[in-house]
Structure 1
């Protein structure tokens, strides 16, 4: 999962709006939810626990994510992404 968090820090600096703490958390939560679904886990309670655990584990990365510029349309792309790879390869580039 760490390889999927790297794009949080690699946004294009000259485009879009700065990421808020809420943006960064939404991206992380979406990646975690998609990764779990891809592994066959569909329990909402488990998803929430894992999202919280990853938010704590990657707190430093989440702090560095704040203020980094998101590409145009990134928020919408993340919301409709069908896979974690789509987020890292399409939404955040």
Structure 2
């Protein structure tokens, strides 16, 4: 992954911390799925279509952002956040629409 790519993904990975105080609580699976979706969308936006690359990057970022993922657990999810994350077409949509 290029040095230019890392700064773009880092803030999006940290979008997990943007969950607001409403509705249901995020569990470990929710937090992991949000990060995985962000990584997959970012890679697709950059032109990468290899599912194995996506899987490796998702694992890499899960390790890198393990403390953030732990802090994500128990935070409130806005109503409809899970569905929004699943149908989001961009990482920005997740951070700016789904998790607000």
Q: What range describes the TM-score normalised by the shorter chain of this pair?
A: over 0.9
Equivalent of 1:92 in 88, 92, 99? 99
Runs of 4+ aligned structure 1 residues displaced above 6 Å come to none
RMSD of Structure 2 on Structure 1 (CA):
0.7
SS at match of 1:77: helix
Q: TM-score of the superposition, structure 1-length normalised? A: 0.96
Q: TM-score of the superposition, structure 2-length normalised? A: 0.89
CA distance in 2, matches of 1:45, 1:20: 25
Residue 61, structure 1, aligned to residue 56, structure 2: no
Residue 11, structure 1, aligned to residue 11, structure 2: no
Structure 2 counterpart of 1:78: 85
Q: Which runs of 5+ in 2 are unaligned?
A: 1-8
